[in-house]
Amino acid sequence: MAVSENPRTGDKILSPILTATSSTPVKLIACAIAIGLLAGYGAVGFRLSISEIQKLFYGYGSQEILSQAANLPWWQIMAAPIIGGLIVGLFWKFVLPNYRAQGVADVMEAVIVNRGKMKLAPGIGGLFVNALTLGCGGSSGREGPVVHFCALIASQLGQRFRLPSKYYMTLIACGVSSGVAASFNAPIAGMFFALEVVVGSLATQAFAPIVIASVIGTVISRVYIGDFPAFIIPNYQIVSLWEFPAIALLGVVAAAVSLLFIWSIGFSERTIDRFRIPEVLRPAAGGVVLGTIALFFPQIIGVGYEATDNALQGHYPLLLLLLLIVVKTIAVGVTFGARFGGGFFSPSLFIGAMTGGAFGLIAATAFPEMAASHGLYAIIGMAAVASSILGAPISTILIVFELTGDYKISIAVMVAVSVATLITKHIYGRSIWQTQLLNRNVDVNESRALRQLSFLQVRGIMDREFIEIPKHTPMRELRKIVSNTNHDKFVVVEPETHEFIGRIDYSDLKTGLFGDEPQENVTALDLVHEDSPVLFPDTSLKSAVEIIEKAGIDHVPVINRANERRLIGILHHKDLLHAYNAALLSAQDDARDKVFR
């Protein structure tokens, strides 16, 4: 006798599997795998594209361009950044006007302002400019562009699959971790860089997908580029524990160098602005300066990893180390001020290695019996300066640990990084990327609620009902107006043009309305507060909060524009408080949902 199978048995078996595979955490793991693959190949592809462009300009595709520069004619070294600058200027003028090269700061801005949504066209255009910059001899780094491109891949994947925007931060962190891991062959550092810079915390909820993406990026890099670190470092040893005070002092020096570097980037841009060079020619003009410097110091060409490696191995004398700190800082400032592309990671490693190497030589001269090789100090200085400039101390410590595999050196690095970071945070308080964002009016240190208010305008909450009082209105008319209205918002205007003059507070009317002495000769103009602050309809609510708090008033008039001053509304303190409370609640939801539960 045949036994019929229960048709629901298969559903009972498959239902948990289908539920698990359709859950958001599983989807995020699947996205992390895809992002890790795409970002890893993207990082390798970007590196190869730089090599091909460099081959066009210099005839050599190798990263060791410094060794080949001695065989090149002077005009080629001079012409490469000029021609590259012309191409960059024409690209920004005719292909993507009003845009610029993209980097880590743009990733942070996308996460903070746009909830992780990044546009494809500017990102691809910026990638081209970044590759061209590094290939033609611009003095910047490749890791920042890699971070942006990998974050762009992650953001686009989330948008194409229409995932909720609250998961975009985790997706972008996966792309960033894969890109950094592929660049340095350092999966642990890649993971922590994403958590430290993008997520902004060591969020355990985002740990699994970020680790997966970082490992995949590292594997791809090792398959196509090789299983070796970015720098080949000799087996250095700390000679004596008495070196640790000197290492702490190196942290102080590194902080000073970092602060000067961050300042120099803004100073260079402001200085170039004063020359009023046409935007289309600005990169080429910067190329003239870069080419001239490269004739005497070819170490500044491109990412400068070969020169950094030479410093780490102790090949440079003291004078050259000191000169390279100065000329590299100038070259990086010119590169960014001239609207080239690139990032800050490689330059910070370069300058840090030169700083540490110079410090080590000076220390060895003062205390020859106790000082280690100045190559060791170059490693420590590299980490200390990079951590201060980038604002990523954990990542830089881990990069050095993964490069050296030496626990004792890592302890020395931790001391210098801690001192340098502490001083930089105390004096300035921002990384180079946070400084770039602040120049765009995005303050990463302010509360999420205030940041939301900065993107809302007064016109959205202003009161459009108010009483206009002509300036010559006598007290008897004022009594009638007050008695016939429930409003306590009175503004004085020109009767013909309705131009705003000032406000009248209810307290100013008490004596005239309820006092024993008649004040029939008093007019509205006599009672007006002409020093009243005003707002415009497009003023941000964040600015409105600051203005109202400073003035200590409950109502602020809103005028259409400065030259006409026609009154169009009133902003009340209570309405502003309601908007702020709503922003606080929204910020709490964002913080709770920024990574998956």
Give strand pairing partners of 470: 493
Which pLDDT value is given to residue 350? Answer: 95
Task: Please state the pTM of the whole predicted model.
Answer: 0.81
- With a CB cutoff of 8 Å and minimum separation 6, the contacts of 501 are 471, 491, 492, 493, 494, 525, 528, 530
> From CA 445, how far away is CA 454, in angstroms rounded?
14
- Give kind and range of the element (H or E) at residue 469: strand 467-470
Single-letter amino acid code for the residue at 306? E
If one counts every other C-beta atom within 10 angstroms of the C-beta of residue 148, the result is 28
As a whole number, mean pLDDT of residues 216-230 equals 85
- Give kind and range of the element (H or E) at residue 568: strand 567-572
Please name which of 170, 194, 182 lies closest in space to residue 392, comparing C-alpha atoms. 194
Single-letter amino acid code for the residue at 222? R
* Residue 26 three-state SS: helix
> From CA 134, how far away is CA 329, in angstroms rounded?
16
> From CA 179, how far away is CA 91, in angstroms rounded?
26
Tokens of 209: 């997908």
> From CA 561, how far away is CA 466, in angstroms rounded?
18
| Band (20; pLDDT cuts 50, 70, 90) | very low
Residue with tokens 């925007």: 165
- With a CB cutoff of 8 Å and minimum separation 6, the contacts of 140 are 133, 134, 303, 332, 335, 336, 340, 341, 342, 343, 344, 346, 347
157: DSSP letter:
H
- Per-residue exposure over 12-33, b if at least 16 CB sit within 10 Å of its own CB, e if not: eeeeeeeeeeeeeeeebbebbe
Please name which of 237, 280, 259 lies closest in space to residue 377, comparing C-alpha atoms. 237
Please name which of 91, 72, 94 lies closest in space to residue 83, comparing C-alpha atoms. 91
Check the CA dihedral 391-154-162-29 and report its sign.
negative
> From CA 271, how far away is CA 257, in angstroms rounded?
20
Phi and psi (nearest 5°) for 528? -70, 145
Single-letter amino acid code for the residue at 522? V
Strand locations in 249-396 (E): none
> From CA 593, how far away is CA 170, in angstroms rounded?
10
As a whole number, mean pLDDT of residues 316-337 equals 96
> From CA 216, how far away is CA 154, in angstroms rounded?
14
233-287 pLDDT per residue, tens: 777 777 777 788 889 999 999 999 999 999 999 999 999 999 999 999 999 999 9
- CATH number for the segment(s) 243-445: 1.10.3080.10
Distance of CA 506 to the CA centre of its chain: 48
Q: Is 521 exposed, middle or buried (0-12, 13-18, 19+ CB in 10 A)?
A: exposed
According to the per-residue pLDDT averaged within each range, which of 20-29, 94-103, 263-272 is highest? 263-272
For residue 74, the number of C-alpha atoms closer than 13 Å in the C-beta half-sphere is: 5
| Band (595; pLDDT cuts 50, 70, 90) | very low
Weakest mean pLDDT among 281-295, 361-375, 482-496, 571-585: 482-496
Single-letter amino acid code for the residue at 110? A
The residues spanned by each domain of the chain are 23-224, 243-445, 452-585
- Give kind and range of the element (H or E) at residue 257: helix 243-274
345-402 pLDDT per residue, tens: 999 999 999 999 999 999 888 776 666 678 889 999 999 999 999 999 998 888 878 7
Contact yes or no for 537/458 (Cβ under 8 A):
yes
If one counts every other C-beta atom within 10 angstroms of the C-beta of residue 157, the result is 20
Q: How far is CA 112 from CA 120, 308, 390, 595, in A?
A: 18, 34, 18, 14
pLDDT tops 60 at residue 597:
no
Please name which of 340, 330, 334 lies closest in space to residue 272, comparing C-alpha atoms. 334
- CATH number for the segment(s) 23-224: 1.10.3080.10
Weakest mean pLDDT among 98-102, 457-461, 514-518: 514-518
> From CA 287, how far away is CA 80, in angstroms rounded?
8
> From CA 555, how far away is CA 573, in angstroms rounded?
6
| Band (219; pLDDT cuts 50, 70, 90) | very high
> From CA 440, how far away is CA 442, in angstroms rounded?
6
- Give kind and range of the element (H or E) at residue 147: helix 143-160
Residue with tokens 């780490």: 312
Tokens of 143: 């890791």
Which pLDDT value is given to residue 373? Answer: 76
Mean pLDDT of the chain: 84
Residue with tokens 């971790």: 177
> From CA 211, how far away is CA 505, in angstroms rounded?
61
Weakest mean pLDDT among 106-115, 127-136, 522-531: 522-531
Give strand pairing partners of 141: 343
pLDDT tops 50 at residue 2:
no
| Band (202; pLDDT cuts 50, 70, 90) | low
- Give kind and range of the element (H or E) at residue 501: strand 500-504
Check the CA dihedral 334-54-302-191 and report its sign.
positive
- CATH number for the segment(s) 452-585: 3.10.580.10
Tokens of 147: 């971070």
Which pLDDT value is given to residue 65? Answer: 85
Tokens of 395: 């990542």
Please check whether the two domains, 23-224 and 243-445, share a CATH topology.
Answer: yes
Which pLDDT value is given to residue 302? Answer: 92
Which pLDDT value is given to residue 420? Answer: 97
